[in-house]
């Protein structure tokens, strides 16, 4: 497996790792060259002291020292730059690449993954890889290169001392990487325990009102504490196991110095090796182990990075919701042709659904909860893909069109409005990013936003808080409709757009919707029968199948499921305490 696949790097990141490794190796070799120069200088002075040779000229040594310092500075600078200087750019590339991938994944992927899981991958996993990429990989690969080059030189110099000095490095690394198979599951378990805590916190933030309203604070906190304790125990277990392996490898690594001294002393005593040669080998051996020391201390992060890279790889293994960049339908009539659909391993949500929502008409989807109404709306806009049959817009199969291209022709108004922590103007402009202020204000006026915006301290430039926290439900819904009006797409999906509104707000929103729907292909999902009585066509769904369809009057006359639903709602409206 390549470095790119193993650690989830970009092409630029792989290039920087290689350059970092090369410059690290060069920097280490420059230090070895300095050790060699020191050895030669000491040899010359020893000859002067013991053999009566002339005192060597100090100038070449001084010049050599200056050259050594300059070259070492240059190599250390480039080694540092490619290890640390470019890391933040690589992290940025990784996160942007992940975001681009997420943007093109089908919504079915997000249905299977928690928000905390996705956030942890984008932020936590990338950070783990970032640290391994900057602190471990260049040092480790640089140490490999340095060891290989040095081994060749030492073997040529004295193969006996070379073996005594170098044997421990490959053995120590072999032992550590051999233990990786046992350590990897522990790293993965530690990561999953940490993710469980993130999911607990995410859930607590999202459900804080429900937890307080049901007096479950202590019980919920106890659950979080239990997950934190479990994560701590797992982390301690992983740290101990990794510490044992790393310290064991370092002990084996240090045995190289002991064997160098032992065999070197034997060789010196029998006269087959000089003392200065042994001294040089000891200097080199101590320098060889230094890069590996740092690598061994951080090797756990390298193993953890592989777990993080595997989680990121899941994103890239997911099939994209891709399609043609060209979308030229013959009109905007939406047709379902024998459509079947299921969410994952569950049973069928839709089975053999067939109906047509014609351009210029309002088609209402009604039926009991769980009958497949919202699923039909999502399939029409390719928020999900049908598993059987096909959905067409103007005769074009939506499964063959890129979702982003397709959605240019859709305006969607959901019951649960999503707004951003921005101004009123900024939230409406999401409908069409290039719209002028005048166009935004015109859409806001058509959606009856002027009435409540006039009460805001800064008018349309007032920040509305996270998800419009400073606005009421009806006000948030009108901003959503203004956004749809600004987009002015030929197909409009209304998913329970007025279900949670009071009478006054519903009247305001209905007035805004009447302006939005003129001349469009409209698919409305509603439980209130009076909302759909003005529709051109009603499609009644029951247990994932089309039970009946036709105009509201025709269905009332048939006396089927639709007529029964109208009768029950009429009776419930007359009920009183």
Query: Which residue carries 């497949």 as its tokens?
Result: 372
Q: Based on the number of CB atoms within 10 Å of its own CB, is 213 exposed (0-12), middle (13-18) or buried (19 or more)? A: exposed
Residue 325 is given by DSSP the state: S
Q: Which residues are registered as beta bridge partners of 542? A: 545
Interior angle at CA 546, CA 541 and CA 552, nearest 5? 70
pLDDT surpasses 60 at 251: yes
Question: Residue 296 and residue 301: Cα distance in Å, rounded?
Answer: 10
pLDDT surpasses 70 at 188: yes
Look at 497 and 221; give whichever has higher pLDDT.
221
Average pLDDT over residues 236-261: 85
**How many CB atoms sit inside 10 A of residue 428's CB?**
29
Q: Which residues are registered as beta bridge partners of 295? A: none
Question: Residue 89 and residue 83: Cα distance in Å, rounded?
Answer: 12
pLDDT surpasses 80 at 298: no
CATH H-level superfamily of 334-573: P-loop containing nucleotide triphosphate hydrolases (3.40.50.300)
Token code pair at residue 445: 């006026």
Q: Torsions phi, psi of 272, nearest 5? A: -90, 0
pLDDT digits (tens, 9 = 90+) for 391-440: 999 999 998 999 889 989 998 887 778 888 889 999 999 888 888 999 99
Average pLDDT over residues 14-26: 82
pLDDT surpasses 70 at 53: no
Token code pair at residue 552: 């509201």
pLDDT surpasses 60 at 277: yes
pLDDT surpasses 60 at 576: no
pLDDT surpasses 70 at 275: yes
Kind plus residue range of the DSSP H or E element containing 528: none
Average pLDDT over residues 284-295: 73
**How many CB atoms sit inside 10 A of residue 6's CB?**
15
> What dotted CATH number matches 3-187+240-317?
1.20.1560.10
Query: Which residue carries 């030492």 as its tokens?
Result: 154
Average pLDDT over residues 317-321: 79
For the sheet with 521-525, list strands across it.
410-414, 491-495, 521-525, 362-366, 537-542, 545-550
Token code pair at residue 423: 């101004």
Question: Residue 386 and residue 440: Cα distance in Å, rounded?
Answer: 35
Token code pair at residue 273: 């090796």
379 near 491, Cβ under 8 Å?
Answer: no
Q: What is the DSSP string of 223-263?
A: HHHHHHHHHHHHHHHHHHHHHHHHHHHHHHHHHHHHHHHHH
Q: Largest Cα–Cα distance of the chain, in whole Å?
A: 125
Question: Residue 387 and residue 341: Cα distance in Å, rounded?
Answer: 5
Token code pair at residue 23: 């410059």
Query: Which residue carries 């090796």 as its tokens?
Result: 273
pLDDT digits (tens, 9 = 90+) for 129-178: 777 777 777 777 777 787 788 888 888 888 888 888 888 888 888 887 78
Query: Which residues neighbour 409 within 8 Å (Cβ) at sequence distance 6 or greater?
Result: 327, 329, 332, 393, 489, 490, 491
Give me the percent of the chain exceeding a pLDDT of 70. Answer: 88
pLDDT score, position 61: 72
Query: What residue ranges of the chain are covered by domains with CATH 1.20.1560.10?
Result: 3-187+240-317
Q: Which residues are registered as beta bridge partners of 560? A: none
Question: Residue 407 and residue 103: Cα distance in Å, rounded?
Answer: 13
Q: Based on the number of CB atoms within 10 Å of its own CB, is 354 exposed (0-12), middle (13-18) or buried (19 or more)? A: middle
Give me the percent of the chain exceeding a pLDDT of 90. Answer: 13
Average pLDDT over residues 541-545: 90
Own/partner pairs, 170-178, CB within 8 angstroms, 24+ separation: 171/252, 172/249, 172/250, 172/252, 172/253, 172/292, 172/296, 173/249, 173/292, 175/245, 175/248, 175/249, 175/252, 176/245, 176/246, 176/248, 176/249, 176/296, 176/299
363 near 539, Cβ under 8 Å?
Answer: yes
Residue 423 is given by DSSP the state: B
Tell me what the pLDDT averaged over the chain comes to: 81
Token code pair at residue 542: 């029951």
Question: Closest Cα to residue 301, out of 410, 173, 191, 225?
Answer: 191
pLDDT score, position 426: 92
Quick one: pLDDT band at residue 474, thresholds 50, 70, 90? Answer: confident
Query: What residue ranges of the chain are covered by domains with CATH 3.40.50.300?
Result: 334-573
Question: Residue 190 and residue 120: Cα distance in Å, rounded?
Answer: 13
């Amino acid at each position: 497996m390549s470095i790119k696949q193993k650690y989830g790097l970009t092409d630029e990141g792989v290039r920087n790792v290689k350059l970092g490794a090369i410059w690290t190796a060069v920097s280490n070799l420059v230090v070895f060259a300095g050790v060699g120069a020191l050895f030669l200088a000491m040899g010359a002075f020893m000859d002067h002291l013991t053999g009566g040779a002339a005192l060597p000229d100090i100038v070449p040594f001084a010049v050599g020292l200056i050259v050594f310092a300059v070259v070492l500075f240059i190599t250390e600078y480039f080694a540092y730059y490619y290890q640390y200087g470019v890391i933040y750019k690589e992290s940025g590339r990784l996160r942007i690449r992940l975001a681009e991938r997420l943007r093109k994944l089908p919504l079915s992927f997000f249905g299977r993954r928690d928000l905390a899981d996705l956030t942890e991958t984008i932020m936590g996993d990338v950070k783990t890889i970032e640290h391994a990429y900057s602190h471990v990989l260049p040092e480790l690969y640089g140490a490999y290169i340095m060891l290989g080059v040095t081994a060749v030189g030492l073997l040529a110099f004295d193969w006996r001392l070379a073996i005594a000095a170098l044997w421990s490095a490959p053995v120590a690394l072999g032992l550590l990487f051999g233990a990786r198979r046992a350590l990897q599951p522990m790293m993965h378990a530690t990561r999953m325990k940490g993710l469980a805590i993130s999911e607990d916190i995410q859930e607590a933030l999202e459900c804080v009102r429900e937890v307080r309203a049901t007096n479950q604070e202590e019980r919920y906190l106890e659950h979080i504490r239990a997950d934190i304790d479990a994560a701590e125990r797992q982390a301690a277990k992983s740290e101990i196991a990794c510490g044992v392996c790393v310290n064991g490898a370092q002990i084996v690594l240090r045995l190289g110095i002991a064997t160098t001294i032992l065999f070197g002393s034997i060789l010196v005593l029998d006269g087959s090796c000089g003392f200065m040669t042994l001294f040089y080998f000891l200097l080199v051996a101590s320098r060889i182990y230094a890069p590996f020391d740092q690598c061994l201390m951080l090797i756990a992060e390298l193993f953890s990075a592989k777990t993080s890279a595997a989680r990121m790889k899941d994103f890239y293994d997911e099939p994209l919701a891709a399609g043609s960049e060209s979308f030229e339908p013959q009109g905007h009539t939406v047709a379902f042709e024998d459509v079947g659909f299921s969410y994952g391993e569950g049973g069928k949500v839709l089975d053999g659904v067939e109906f047509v929502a014609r351009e210029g008409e309002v088609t209402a989807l009604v039926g009991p909860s769980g009958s497949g109404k919202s699923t039909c709306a999502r399939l029409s806009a390719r928020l999900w893909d049908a598993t059987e049959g096909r959905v067409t817009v103007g005769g074009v199969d939506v499964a063959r069109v890129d979702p982003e291209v397709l959605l240019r022709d859709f305006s969607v108004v959901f019951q649960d409005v999503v707004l951003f922590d921005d101004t009123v103007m900024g939230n409406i402009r999401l409908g069409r990013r290039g719209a002028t202020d005048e166009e935004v204000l015109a859409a806001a006026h058509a959606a009856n936003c002027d009435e409540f915006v006039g009460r805001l301290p800064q008018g349309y430039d007032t920040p509305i808080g996270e998800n419009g926290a400073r606005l009421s439900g009806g006000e948030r819904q009108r901003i959503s409709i203004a956004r749809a009006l600004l987009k002015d797409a030929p197909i409009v999906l209304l998913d329970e757009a007025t279900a949670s509104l009071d009478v006054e707000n519903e009247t305001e929103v209905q007035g805004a919707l009447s302006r939005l729907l003129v001349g469009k292909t409209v698919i409305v999902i509603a439980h209130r029968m009076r909302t759909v009585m003005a529709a051109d066509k009603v499609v009644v769904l029951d247990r994932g199948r089309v039970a009946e369809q036709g105009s509201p009057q025709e269905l009332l006359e048939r006396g089927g499921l639709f007529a029964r639903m109208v009768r029950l709602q009429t009776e419930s409206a007359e009920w009183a305490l």
